[in-house]
Structure 1
Amino acid sequence: MRKWLPLVAICLGAFILLVDVTIVNVALPSMASDLHASFSSLQWVMDMYALALAALLLAAGSLADLFGHRRLYAIGLAVFALASLAAALSPNAAALITARAVQGVGGAAMFATSAGLVAATYQGRDRGMAFGVWGAVNGAAAALGPVLGGLLTQGIGWQAIFLVNLPIAVVAVVLTLRVLPAGRRGAGRLDVPGAVTFTVAAAALTYALMRGGDHGWTDSLTVIAFVLAGVAAAAFVVAELMTSHPMLDLSLLRRPTFSGLLGGALLYQAGAFGGLVYVSLWLQNVLGLSPIRGGLALMPLAGAAFVAAAVAGKHSHRFAPALPIGGGLVLIGAGAAVLWQSVSAGSHATSLIAGLAVIGVGVGLATPVLVSTAVDAVPANRAGMAGGAVNTFRQLGMSLGIALFGSVFTSRMRHVVSHGGGVRAAYASGLDRIFLASALAALVGGVLVFLTVHRPTPGGDAGAGHRPAAAPEDAAVSAG
């Protein structure tokens, strides 16, 4: 039993960081009431965490290579716990948004190291079993967030969704320092220009999408934010081409499998999770459900994801990777399409069951093999970078999905209300557009994966060296 304690330490961290992507969904109405927060503030409470994860994952992976994975993982847990405490004590929306950003900093350190720690700790059959458990935790954590959020918010208060992280993080830190291998420190240096320009580009694009929905797409600040995002993205490309230690080796984008997986990862996260926050608002603000019942209404997604992830993690090696990943995306799109047809002004929570269950199966199929396939598609010395890049695009998809869907949601609601529609009709119309956009995003992602992702062969995709899924430590310096 003792041999599995390192896995417990790693899975505890992975669980709380991924649960916190979605745990605030059902708590948003309570937060808005207590903190007197606007709708745009609520978006930032959700988006700031995912944005910090996306912007800092690649940099965190570089730091882990320099200073050791266990050390950075423990530091990430500590930062995450302190930020969770600050979030629970926040007196206003600005303080909460700031705390969520710091949570994302700690989460990025944990996210960038957990899979590498699994690979460094276990060998042979134990390694396969460890990655299966870890993959199931990753597959279900984000889906379980709304359920746990509802239970804690109604039973104790919205502050509890952050306070619950503290004892879990303490246990994870103690186990990490006692049972995880120390590993070794690497060489090289941090790509500071790349980290700064990528962060600015991601933040500016997210802000532009949010502001565009509220103030119009020709608003001066919206346009400035889009321009800044474009300039920062161009600067990032230049920075990566000029440095000898890039966060992202741009030559990897010439490999069809790798670039296809990046696009698929972004569309996967946006399609599966980007709209959940608005579903939670509908369940509580329109249908009048309690936080617990609102969370339980999303349980079909969580349950289906957990079961499918456990099965996929065990058997996916028998199939070409495009099948579980692309098939998972298609199922997410199909589930969103079912929701698009099922939810109307007269609907109730039961209208969500079928669509959410189908989405959950898709999430469970795609998650366990998404990162390992990216790792397989590149040379061995770029494996950690590949895993970090895929997870970065996943979280960027979450951040951009929330922002873009929020713009669609608010503009559609305004249109319906301005034409005499009631609140129930306005919410239903907004969700209708979100479900349609989610379906299209996921289906496009599925087609992209089927067209570009191929099983690695000796010599690799476009010349990459072949790597088995459970490769040595440096092959799995990634998470999620």
Structure 2
Amino acid sequence: MILLAVCLAVFMLLLDMTIVSSALADLQASLGADLSDLQWVIDAYALPMAGLLLTAATLGDRLGRRRLYLVGMALFTTASLGCALSGSAAMLIGVRAVQGTGGAILLAVSLPIIAAAYPQERRGGPIAIYGAVMGAGSAAGPLLGGFLVTHFGWQSIFLVNLPVGVIALIIAARHLPETRAEQTRPVDWVGTMLLTCGLLTGVFAVISLHDGGIGARACVALALCAVVALALFLWWEGRTPAPMLSLRLVTSPGFAGVWVAAAAASGTLIGATNYLALYFMNTLGYNAFETGLRAGPLTLATIAGAPLGILVGKRLPSVVTIPGGVALVAAGLWAATGAHAGTVWTHFIFGSALAGLGLGALSAVTSDAALQFVPLDDAGMATGSVSTGRQIGILLGVAGMGVAFGQAAAGQSGVRAAGAAAINSVLAWGALAAACAAFVSLILLGVATMSRSHDPATGESLAI
């Protein structure tokens, strides 16, 4: 029952990251949402997932993971009802932020709950099930969301969380034991505030580039605020005795290489998927369920990529598998470019499947690869930081690709020509970002590999 409670939580919170893509066109029609509003509907959920994840993990260690689970699930479920009842885009964005806060709490305590419930020799099976459920939650979003939106309206993608949330709360209240860490550290509230402020102002600046809501000077001011806040965050993390992010991780080339790859792969592909869904609905004229069905190649390839990644990861070093996974995402996004006014949906099958294969394979080996380059004491922080990196990637991917989507469409006449130009721009910029990340990851992991293979302390060659 413990594993069931955890799996229900992670399935819901990952599902809600991707299920919204099927409702974007309906949100435009029902709530009068423009492109910037749609970006915020997605990013308002990802922002607290990025800014609060590490802090929530520390709170769980100190206050009790069962308590945090119940708080997070109650918050997530209540916010889901609020999302369904939203009468405006602004209200939906605000409640999505609350929902993301609940999701951050649940994600932060889920793996520690499993670790505390099972002895080390029995954790392999539960953790494998946990990982499979996370993948299934992300993959099921477009198809399940499409079915619900088409038959029951956009509100149903949030209402579906209510019975699941109530069941999870009942199971957790009855069967989840309270656990805490034997050794805890203080909560880094200053670091949390600086990181969240930096991400919020940065995303606000990027999204505002194309919506015309604020002037160019305001965008520059927001961008400068983001840079200052993030610089102060790194400065503070290097000086506080209990950082939420140890600078040992930031300055480790190997860990940085894994982090960049995870952030870029998630950000570019999930960002592109949202705009591809919008293209299918607004330009090609498919309804939400038809759009979800056409995401099938991406979904199946992502699922198939996980066992492939594990298999390859056992035979090849991280310096090959990690950059290789991002390179597949880049190649897939690039292969999907070339849309024109007469394009049909089958044009995107190969590219989306290739990118999904890369993301699935990369996700399966990311955590193990990250742990190879950090001290044992930083293992929990490292895995949490990689999850945070994925959310930061999604934040920036959705924001940046929205700029590309809006600006490319504005220069065209005709719905199909404008849609084709917009999706080509999204895919091309996504491919470029993923390719650059693959190169950076390769360099960083190469440096880490060479430094470990010639360890001056042992003089021995160390396998990675």
Q: Report the TM-score when normalising by structure 2.
A: 0.92
Amino acid corresponding to residue 430 of structure 1 in structure 2: A
Shift of 1:399: 0.8
Out of 134, 141, 148, which is 2:137 matched to? 141
Q: Is the Cα contact below 8 Å between 1:61 and 1:384 reproduced in 2?
A: no
What is residue 32 of structure 2 aligned with on the other side? 36
Out of 384, 389, 392, which is 1:393 matched to? 389
What is residue 60 of structure 1 aligned with on the other side? 56
Amino acid corresponding to residue 112 of structure 2 in structure 1: G
Q: SS at the partner of 1:275?
A: helix
Q: Is the Cα contact below 8 Å between 1:255 and 1:461 reproduced in 2?
A: no
Shift of 1:355: 1.3
Q: How many residues align?
A: 456
Please identify, of 111-120 and 239-248, the stretch whose mean Cα deviation from structure 2 is larger. Answer: 111-120
Out of 81, 99, 105, which is 2:101 matched to? 105
Please identify, of 167-176 and 363-372, the stretch whose mean Cα deviation from structure 2 is larger. Answer: 167-176
Query: For 2:16 and 2:454, how far apart are their aligned partners in 1?
Result: 36
Matches within 5 A, 1:20-419: 20-123=16-119, 126-185=122-181, 186-215=183-212, 219-313=216-310, 316-341=313-338, 343-416=339-412
Q: Evaluate the alpha carbon distance shift between residue 52 and residue 408 of structure 1 in structure 2; reply closer, same or farther with a 3 A threshold.
A: same
Please identify, of 33-42 and 323-332, the stretch whose mean Cα deviation from structure 2 is larger. Answer: 323-332
Query: For 1:308 and 1:247, how far apart are their aligned partners in 2?
Result: 32
Query: For 2:31 and 2:210, how far apart are their aligned partners in 1?
Result: 23
Amino acid corresponding to residue 385 of structure 1 in structure 2: M
Q: Is the Cα contact below 8 Å between 2:262 and 2:363 reproduced in 1?
A: no
Query: For 2:30 and 2:411, how far apart are their aligned partners in 1?
Result: 28
Query: For 1:83 and 1:244, how far apart are their aligned partners in 2?
Result: 35
Post-superposition CA distance 1:93-147 (Å, at most 9, x none): 1110011000110011111122222333334564222222222222342232111
What is residue 432 of structure 1 aligned with on the other side? 424
Q: Evaluate the alpha carbon distance shift between residue 153 and residue 58 of structure 1 in structure 2; reply closer, same or farther with a 3 A threshold.
A: same
Q: Which has the bigger relative contact order, CA under 8 A and spacing at least 6? A: 1
Post-superposition CA distance 1:375-410 (Å, at most 9, x none): 332122211111111111110110111110001111
Q: SS at the partner of 2:341?
A: coil
Shift of 1:235: 1.8
Post-superposition CA distance 1:315-365 (Å, at most 9, x none): 744442344432221111111111014x22211122221111111211210
Q: Evaluate the alpha carbon distance shift between residue 153 and residue 12 of structure 1 in structure 2; reply closer, same or farther with a 3 A threshold.
A: same
Q: Is the Cα contact below 8 Å between 1:53 and 1:395 reproduced in 2?
A: yes
Q: Evaluate the alpha carbon distance shift between residue 25 and residue 406 of structure 1 in structure 2; reply closer, same or farther with a 3 A threshold.
A: same
Query: For 2:69 and 2:132, how far apart are their aligned partners in 1?
Result: 20
What percent identity do the matched residue pairs reach?
A: 38
Q: Evaluate the alpha carbon distance shift between residue 131 and residue 444 of structure 1 in structure 2; reply closer, same or farther with a 3 A threshold.
A: farther
- Flag as ranges the 4+ runs of structure 1 deviating above 6 A: 455-463
C-alpha RMSD of matched pairs (Å): 2.5
Query: For 2:60 and 2:319, how far apart are their aligned partners in 1?
Result: 30
Post-superposition CA distance 1:261-318 (Å, at most 9, x none): 2211221112211112211111111111111001111111111111222453477444
Q: Evaluate the alpha carbon distance shift between residue 174 and residue 428 of structure 1 in structure 2; reply closer, same or farther with a 3 A threshold.
A: same
Post-superposition CA distance 1:195-251 (Å, at most 9, x none): 111100000000000001233997121011111111211221222122111111113
Q: SS at the partner of 1:113?
A: helix
- Determine whether 1:452 maps to 2:452: no
Q: Evaluate the alpha carbon distance shift between residue 201 and residue 236 of structure 1 in structure 2; reply closer, same or farther with a 3 A threshold.
A: same
Shift of 1:457: 11
Query: For 1:286 and 1:252, how far apart are their aligned partners in 2?
Result: 44
Query: For 1:339 and 1:440, how far apart are their aligned partners in 2?
Result: 13
Query: For 2:202 and 2:110, how far apart are their aligned partners in 1?
Result: 28
Q: Evaluate the alpha carbon distance shift between residue 460 and residue 43 of structure 1 in structure 2; reply closer, same or farther with a 3 A threshold.
A: farther
Q: Is the Cα contact below 8 Å between 1:54 and 1:395 reproduced in 2?
A: yes
Q: Is the Cα contact below 8 Å between 1:334 and 1:359 reproduced in 2?
A: yes
Q: Is the Cα contact below 8 Å between 2:10 and 2:107 reproduced in 1?
A: yes
What is residue 478 of structure 1 aligned with on the other side? none
What is residue 423 of structure 1 aligned with on the other side? 415
Amino acid corresponding to residue 352 of structure 2 in structure 1: L
Amino acid corresponding to residue 263 of structure 1 in structure 2: V
What is residue 461 of structure 2 aligned with on the other side? none
Q: Is the Cα contact below 8 Å between 1:371 and 1:391 reproduced in 2?
A: no
Out of 416, 433, 437, which is 1:441 matched to? 433
Listed as ranges, the gaps of 5+ residues in structure 2 are 458-463
What is residue 477 of structure 1 aligned with on the other side? none
Listed as ranges, the gaps of 5+ residues in structure 1 are 464-468, 470-480
Shift of 1:188: 2.5
Q: Report the TM-score when normalising by structure 1.
A: 0.89
Q: Is the Cα contact below 8 Å between 1:120 and 1:181 reproduced in 2?
A: no
Shift of 1:456: 12
Q: SS at the partner of 2:337?
A: helix
Query: For 1:117 and 1:252, how far apart are their aligned partners in 2?
Result: 24
Q: Evaluate the alpha carbon distance shift between residue 133 and residue 321 of structure 1 in structure 2; reply closer, same or farther with a 3 A threshold.
A: farther
Query: For 2:264 and 2:33, how far apart are their aligned partners in 1?
Result: 29
